[in-house]
Amino acid sequence: MENKNGTVVTEFILLGLTQSREIQLLVFVLILIFYLIILPGNFLIILTIRSDPGLSAPLYFFLGNLAFLDASYSFIVAPRMLVDFLSEKKVISYRGCITQLFFLHFLGGGEVLLLVVMAFDRYIAICRPLHYSTVMRPRACYVMLLALWLGGFIHSIIQVALILRLPFCGPNQLDNFFCDVPQVIKLACTDTFVVELLMVFNSGLMTLLCFLGLLASYAVILCRVHGSSSEGKSKAMSTCTTHIIVIFLMFGPGIFIYTRPFRAFSADKVVSLFHTVIFPLLNPVIYTLRNQEVKASMKKLFHQH
């Protein structure tokens, strides 16, 4: 009989996205094309913002960091997923699983907080324009950036600490294509009710409160913009609308996955695929396509080369 107080599972078997070989192949090709086209787009955004002195405003500083976070986030799941599509047996070590889970929540938590910071930046720019240069000084921007990285780390380390305390003595099959909290917790050979509540509080409540707070702040901003007659009205509306689109795309799947007890739903894998692979690549592209300054700067960058 195995010791039930300690972790004896040394690896997890990932059941993958689907058992159908044809669908696996189709998804593999789609994700590979998507990855190879859009991932360089993230780095292009970073390069454009770094190389153009005209894009030195806090908005672009945070947009560059968003592209960096999204590019980093997309490396956690997608490359391994593509390799696993070609493997008969999809195995990840216990340490590899915990590492994947840590970085997923570290970067994901950081991105949630970055969207909060970006909303704050827009609020000050539109509702308190006279105070903008004082509040959003370069030093303040760096302090906010440090705070969101620290916030993401604390959020993630809590998740990992709770999971490391759980005993895993079999079974070791994860019904997903990557390691995440809901599936891993269900494999623990002990009662996980309290841990699940703590996880929902840590991930779900944080996601939901940030989401509602962001919607409220953008509602205030849009009301202020709508009531003004300034020439920058359409630009401000466009920027805020873009932010709101990204918020719905990011927080929707997060709320679906983390704000409920960890029971499996048939839609979980599709939502997870969107949340971990597709959205991180799309996010900065949405911003860029709707931002005239960044588009103009990119064209200038291409003409120089």
Are 87 and 10 within 8 A, CB to CB?
A: no
Each of the 305 residues of the chain gets a pLDDT tens digit; together they read 344 455 588 999 998 888 888 888 888 898 888 888 778 888 888 898 888 888 889 989 999 999 899 889 888 988 988 888 888 888 999 999 999 999 999 999 999 999 999 999 989 988 888 999 999 999 999 999 999 999 999 999 999 999 999 999 878 998 888 998 888 998 999 888 888 888 888 888 888 999 999 999 999 888 888 777 666 677 778 778 888 888 888 888 888 888 877 677 778 888 888 888 888 777 767 777 777 788 888 888 777 76
Q: Can you give the pLDDT at residue 3?
A: 47
Q: Encoding tokens for residue 216? A: 């409220």
Spatial separation of the C-alpha atoms in residues 76 and 74, rounded to whole Å: 6
Burial (CB count within 10 angstroms: exposed 0-12, middle 13-18, buried 19+), residue 134: exposed
For the chain, state the CA radius of gyration: 21
Kindly state the tokens that stand for 11. 């690896």
Q: What is the DSSP letter of 187?
A: T
Residue 1 is predicted with a pLDDT of: 36
Per the CB < 8 A criterion, the answer to whether 252 and 244 are in contact is no
**For 170, left (φ over 0), alpha (ψ -120 to 50), or beta?**
left
Token pair recorded at residue 200: 């929902």
Residue at 79: amino acid letter? P
Q: What is the pLDDT of residue 275?
A: 85
Amino acid letter at 178?
F
222-231, long-range: CB < 8 A, 24+ apart: 224/126, 224/127, 225/126
| pLDDT recorded at residue 108 | 92
Question: Which CATH number applies to 11-304?
Answer: 1.20.1070.10
Tell me what pLDDT residue 2 has: 45
